[in-house]
Amino acid sequence: MEMYDYVIVGAGSAGCVLARRLSERKSNRVLMLEAGPTSDEFWVNTPAGMAKLFFHKTLNWNYLTEPMPTLRDRRMYWPRGRGLGGSSSINGMVYIRGHRNDFDHWESLGNQGWGFDRVLPYFKRMEHNARGEDRFRGVGGPLWISDPVVKHPSSHDFIAAAMASGIPYTEDLNGAEHDAVGFIQHNIRAGRRHSAYSAYVAPVVSRSNLSIRTGCHVQRVKFDGRDAVGVEVIEGGERRVIYASREVIVSAGALNSPHLLMLSGIGPLGELQRHQIPVVMELPGVGRNLQDHFYVHCSFEATRGSSYNQDLRGLRKYWQGIRYLTTHTGYLALGSSQVAAFIKSRPDEPYGDLQISFRPMSFTYHHNGYVEVEPTPAVAASVYQVRPASTGTVTLKSANPNDAPAFTPNYLTATADVQAMIAGIRKIREIMSREPMASRIIREKIPGANVQTDEQLLAFMEQDGSCAFHPAGTCKMGSDLHAVVDERLRVRGVSRLRVIDASIMPRVTAGNTNAPTMMIGEKGADMILEDAVPPRASMKRSIESNFEERSRTVITS
């Protein structure tokens, strides 16, 4: 019988943080399980390689939503990381915490200790910011936060044009002023992606009390009554149970965590009965409250010096490759976007509800998985609503753990969401029409100058709108009838089981979600250590007899 004190399901942005922090206490035996493979590959480590990972066959779950009636019955592609580092190994590396009001709102719902002033120390603890330390920034933490190695002239001009349109400037989008325009920082260290795994786990992988398994697909959480005792896994084609003497921690992400809970008998009663899953605990909120940032992409043909498209095509791309290999600088060392602006879609919004991002290049995703930089000079800007009113669900297609769940995001079902997104597209156009950007723009390519009325813009969104890949909220924290975990991230109604990842967000944060997910891992780890749930006596004896004094960390694939 194989046993550990803590079994972590998922080696993503939160799971890696938990593995590092829990194993800092030498008496804890910690196991982190990951369904995907190792992820130490060239295009994972190269920041610009995210385009190569968008449809990756092994490092990506390659999910699809259900057909969406509000988007002309389209099925939308949802990439999610599958491998060490999770989505932090395939994302755009944007480091944005969110607005302080996001966290104060969480606390106002009864989640004590989750207000901004209480979570700020965790953000600072995890950071090593290249700009140095101040009231809001941290240094000395595992995760490197850096500025773009190339700040393109078009990016400076976009900021100037945004300011001309009435948006204030900030030196730090994670500082005192969130509703502003400024350069984005990224999880990049010395020109290489700094994923949650490379930041938190790789430096401590030799710890004798930390084990990591890849290629290990967790099928369900095992219970003794309502006590979580371990997990059932498929590893190397064999099915077995791995036991946790203290706690099982589900950190599989906002899509896979509710899936695993339901497979384990925790969820809406009707959903469990429909698939003949024995009920451990009825929790109607599991898989509900799905939130994501609906995303619209706009592009503009630009003057030659306004875009670096030409530097990533033809012979020039080889020069960029050589430059990156020899210096880890240049355009291949950049994150997904250079500039962000947070604005209000209407004056009565309490704080910015739109995020506009800018990049001085453009590309096309083809259905066959090929990502192509556009052949002519162009720049791109995108917008999404950061606090959507529309929410969706994650439900089961079957009781087979190998069948992906059903994702129904319900984008644009709320009129307020439609109105906000239309305002965002119009704001992008206004910025592009202001100097100094106006002199760089030749014409609008997407959605195109012929798309002007609200009805036309809605039709464009229905046909071409996508997602920002920020799912959250499906195992929300709170005390209401649909809350899945309490303020200490313990699953309600059962013991020795927690969910710690983006799924616990009561409301998705204003911005990219990787940074707050890692913060949740930091705070969650402290809660686990503070609570120090005692090991079951019978399991403690088995652990002592089944483990050598020092065990070697094993990474298998």
Let me know if residue 547 belongs to a domain.
no
For 215: left if phi > 0, alpha if psi spans -120 to 50, otherwise beta; the answer is left
Could you report the per-residue pLDDT of 416-447, keeping only the tens digit for each?
999 999 999 999 999 999 999 999 999 999 99
Residues 376-395 have pLDDT tens digits of 999 999 999 999 999 999 99
CA distance 334 to 329: 8
pLDDT at residue 540, as a whole number: 47
Round to whole Å and give the CA distance between 35 and 18.
17
Q: Considering the domain boundaries, does residue 28 fall inside one?
A: yes
Structural domains counted in the chain: 1
The model's pLDDT over 495-527, given as tens digits with 9 standing for 90+, comes to 999 999 999 999 999 999 999 999 999 999 999
Who's near 233: CB < 8 A, 6+ residues apart? 33, 216, 217, 218, 219, 239, 240, 241, 242
Give the tens place of pLDDT for each residue, 333-343.
999 999 999 99
- Please tell me the predicted confidence (pLDDT) of residue 92: 95
Instruction: Exactly one of 99, 297, 470, 482 is catalytic; name it.
Output: 470
What would the pLDDT profile of 74-127 be if each residue is shown by its tens digit? 999 999 999 999 999 999 999 999 999 999 999 999 999 999 999 999 999 999
Report how far Cα 348 is from the mean position of its chain's Cα atoms.
29
Could you read off the pLDDT of 207-241 as tens digits, one per residue?
999 999 999 999 999 999 999 999 999 999 999 99
Domain residues for 302?
Answer: 2-539
The two structure tokens encoding residue 288:
């509900």
Q: Is residue 300 in some structural domain?
A: yes
For residue 545, is it within any domain?
no
Task: List the binding residues for FAD.
Answer: 91-94, 218
Report the DSSP pairing between strands 378-385 and 371-373: unpaired
Torsions phi, psi for 520 (to 5 deg): -60, -40
Whether residue 470 lies in the annotated active site: yes
What is the tens place of the pLDDT at every residue in 124-167? 999 999 999 999 999 999 999 999 999 999 999 999 999 999 99
Pairing of strands 294-302, 363-365: unpaired
- The annotation places the binding site at 91-94, 218
Q: For residue 495, is it within any domain?
A: yes
Question: Could you give the CA distance from residue 179 to residue 10 in angstroms, rounded to a whole number?
Answer: 33
What is the distance in angstroms between the CA of the first residue and the CA of the last residue of the chain? 21
- Tens of pLDDT, residue by residue over 453-487, are 999 999 999 999 999 999 999 999 999 999 999 99
What is the number of residues in the chain?
557
Residue 553 is assigned to a structural domain of this protein: no
Task: Report if residue 550 sits inside a domain.
Answer: no
Which residue in 504, 557, 553 sits closest to 254, CA to CA?
Answer: 504
Which CATH number fits the domain that encloses residue 57?
Answer: 3.50.50.60
Q: Is residue 431 part of a domain?
A: yes
Asked whether 251 and 8 are in contact (CB, 8 A), the reply is yes
Work out the average pLDDT over 6-15.
98
